[in-house]
Structure 1
Amino acid sequence: MSINPPYRADIVGSFLRPEALKRARAAHSAGEIDADALRAVEDAEIADLVRKEADNGLRVATDGEFRRSWWHFDFFGMLDGVDVIELDHGIQFQGVQTRPRGLHLSGPVGFSDTHPFLEHYRSLQVLTAGTGALPKATIPAPTVLDFRLEPDRIDPNVYSGRDDIVDDLVQAYRDAVTAFYDAGCRYLQFDDTAWAYLCSDEELTKARDRGIRTDGLAERYASLLNRVLEAKPDDMVITTHVCRGNFRSTWISSGGYEPVAEQLLGEVAYDGFFLEYDSERAGGFEPLRFLPEGDQTVVLGLITSKTGELEDVDAIKNRIDEASVFAPLEQLALSPQCGFASTEEGNVLTEDEQWAKIREVVAIADDVWR
């Protein structure tokens, strides 16, 4: 098994919210308990989660995103100059729509050393002490903010247009990398839906309708991310998770990685790439041929987090063998294809089924890479 992350058996990050946490968040929203009372419940539930992660065989621990409502809006809304606003529509998934939220830029984009996610990480560090697990922080990628931002939600007194934002966005994320490192973080993950949308003709059409210049966008995103990753110290691991959408077990985009693989795998200096491979919508493993020989790892998301039914172990091992035709086995790993709760609503499975999935990942990885 690998010594350094991403581990042979790894996780994307989010977990189903326990009932006690759901009740506390509802009570806080209703004004029935204060922030300190909510924080006490969060701390207790995250401590229990960390124990379960270790007990189920993981060598990495996240806070399950228990302090968040969304995988991305919470972080973005706490950046300088970025507001989360109410819209007349949500993000459309297959047959269901999210709550109606969006982003608005009202000032220069920046990352402050008072950003609450830093304290979230410090708390996770304390809770993982003595477990032997490495705490991992997860935040949305800068490309997500760029891709989801509509031109009419940019204050013209601050930025003249989308391209005018890039330098500030890069600096904000460079500052975030440095701040997380200084807080003790050695394993950081950028969650990213933009790359998956670039693999979908339908989503590219929607992007053009929003005023995004899609020609050469993969190259521009690779450049943006590499500028951010230049701030990464040598003893820090930064990975990405490429997601096709995950809301209450539904999805948004389809399409294999071929349109972006050369730029994403061949050019972006991530230490690891968590790629969804749990359905035919992800295409084949041929794009893995662009992964350079070396220390970078592709974490194969072959175990779905969208249903509770366990995968056939032999079938998963066969798929790992198929992937190893295009990338060396020593540069591959295994995980669920996504988290179990990208928003606080969570996917359609039980907590017992969730942990059975984790144990399956660990058992298969131990057998394949032992």
Structure 2
Amino acid sequence: MTTTASTTSLVYPYRYDVVGSLLRPDTLKDARGKFAAGKIPADELAAIQHDETQRVVTAQADLGFKAVTDGEFNRSWWHLDFLWGLTGVGHYDYHQSYKFHGEKTRTDNADLVGKIAFNPDHPFFKTFSALQAMAPAGVVVKQTIPSPSMLFRDNRSDNWSQFYETWDAYLDDLAKAYHQTIEHFYELGCRYLQLDDTTWAFLISQLNATADDATAHAKYVGLAEDAVRVINQVLNGLPTDLTVTTHICRGNFQSTYLFSGGYDVVADYLGQLHYDGLFLEYDSSRDGDFSPLARIWNHDTHKRLILGLITSKFPDLEDPDEIKAKIQQAAESVPLENLGLSTQCGFASTEEGNHLTEDQQWAKLKLVRQIAQDVWDC
């Protein structure tokens, strides 16, 4: 992210872009299961992961995408595997499923086991370098990691006072650890990084639910303000040729969701964030209308909003004309040149994946590309 928006031109996100995760193939799922059971060594799992990642990188490039991800094949959860790799974060059993509608998750979670710090041996650095080597010439590698706000939610920071005298000191360390982590990704060659975040959808739900309870409402206002503060601390001062975006999700597990509500109650906070782009979920009536977009964009000609109008949860293909009409409707709030298109989320935020086939996944991404090329002639 730039220290001042005017110092860099808008390159990413592209008009059509991959959010992040892709469906895990059975070969990889099987290998992970065998490794967990002690039936194959780590190097055999790594070889299978490498081959399957190379396959989906090639598939994304063949579909015409200018930025590719590793499908998040290096992790089991979209967020926890990264958080566990930070110094000061441990792994514990939450003993509860995350509250998705109609589906039960595994019960892994993360918590503080010491002061938060940058880990120069974070395993994601190795897999990023491997991904760089797989990408065809002229194709950009996009690295996805969870937002730092994901560490002060869902009981993950309940014991912060064991390690810090003040909450602010904890948040400062968290921001510093993330900033240094992103700087190291940059040193490894990363020029496009995305912070995935369900915190804003959580806040939408809670701010709406507590609208008539001033005390409870103030708690979530404080969390929103903390999220803005920490995220901007992370982003400020990064190299000017590094693009950082965010993806805002309402939950994505086996084709179901966690949260509902439009962006209106968090639009002003989102408008303060120093991102180059925001991927915004817009595939169902649970997401509200486009009226908050102007406040999220906040007249920043450098910033691009990517509309997640194509669902990754279900296989049926959307009507291209209906999607184009929605894009034009959104352009009444934000200039068309500052918009783009994607699926509403990835296809497998956890290794279980959504309820569609790999062929249906590629058909969804092909549709994203075709519609974007028609709308923006890109």
Which residue, out of 249, 254, 260, partners 1:254?
260
User: Letter of the aligned partner of 1:252 in structure 2?
Assistant: L
Pair 1:71–1:210, CA change in 2 (3 A): farther
CA contact (8 A) 2:310 2:364 kept: yes
Q: Secondary structure at the match of 1:274?
A: strand
* Change in 2 beyond 3 A, CA 1:8/1:211: closer
d(CA) in 1 for partners of 2:130 and 2:215? Answer: 42
Distance 2:21 2:185 in 1: 19
Which residue identity does 2:353 align to in structure 1? G
Match of 1:232 among 238, 247, 270: 238
How far apart are the structure 1 equivalents of 2:220 and 2:182?
27
Query: Following superposition of structure 1 onto structure 2, how do residues 30-69 of structure 1 map, counting pairs within 5 Å?
Result: 30-69=37-76
1:117 aligns with 124
Pick one of 139, 145, 149 that aligns with 1:139.
Answer: 145
Distance in 1, Cα, partners of 2:25 & 2:141: 20
Partner of 1:9: 16
Q: What letter is aligned with 1:23?
A: D
Partner of 1:181: 186
Structure 1 residue 35: Cα displacement:
0.8
Provide the secondary structure at the position in 1 that maps to 2:40: coil
TM-score (norm 2): 0.92
1:293 positional shift? 3.4
Q: Which runs of 5+ in 1 are unaligned?
A: none
1:316 aligns with 2:323: yes
Count of aligned pairs between the two proteins:
364
Structure 1 residues 1-370: aligned runs within 5 Å: 4-130=11-137, 132-150=138-156, 152=158, 154=159, 156-160=161-165, 162-201=167-206, 213-264=219-270, 266-290=271-295, 291=297, 292-370=299-377
* Cα distance in 1, alignment partners of residues 357 and 110 from structure 2: 32
Change (3 A) 1:41 1:175: same
- Amino acid in structure 2 at the alignment position of 1:148: D
Secondary structure of the structure 2 residue equivalent to 1:20? helix
| Aligned-partner residue type, residue 152 of structure 2 | D
Distance (Å, rounded) in 2 between the aligned partners of 1:50 and 1:221: 32
Instruction: Structure 2: state its 5+ residue gaps.
Output: 1-8
CA distance in 2, matches of 1:6, 1:81: 32
The SS at the match of 2:292 is helix
Instruction: Indicate the larger mover: 300-309 or 105-114.
Output: 105-114
The offset of 1:197, in angstroms, is: 1.1
Taking only the aligned residue pairs, the percentage that are identical comes to: 47
d(CA) in 2 for partners of 1:352, 1:161: 50
Q: How far apart are residue 98 of structure 1 and its match?
A: 1.1
> In the TM superposition, what is the alpha-carbon distance from 1:144 to its structure 2 partner?
1.1
* 210 and 18 in structure 1: CA distance in 2 versus 1, 3 angstrom threshold: farther
Pick closer, same or farther for the CA change 1:50–1:209 going to 2, 3 Å.
Answer: farther
- Give secondary structure in 2 for the equivalent of 1:298: strand
Secondary structure of 1:148's counterpart equals coil
Cα distance 1:151–1:11, how it changes in 2: closer, same or farther (>3 A)? closer
Q: Matches of 2:233 and 2:300 in 1, distance apart?
A: 22
- Partners of 1:289 and 1:274 lie apart in 2 by 14
Q: Do the aligned partners of residues 73 and 204 (structure 1) sit closer, same or farther apart at CA in structure 2, a change above 3 Å counting?
A: farther
Shift in alpha-carbon separation, 1:203–1:38, aligned structure 2, 3 A: farther
Q: Residues 249 and 177 from structure 1, CA distance in 2 versus in 1: closer, same or farther, beyond 3 angstroms?
A: same
Q: Within 2, Cα distance between the matches of 1:353 and 1:150? A: 36
What amino acid does structure 2 have at the position aligned with 1:342? Answer: S
Distance 1:315 1:48 in 2: 32
Deviations 1:299-325 (A, max 9, x none): 000000000000011000000000000
Query: Normalising to structure 1: TM-score of the pair?
Result: 0.94
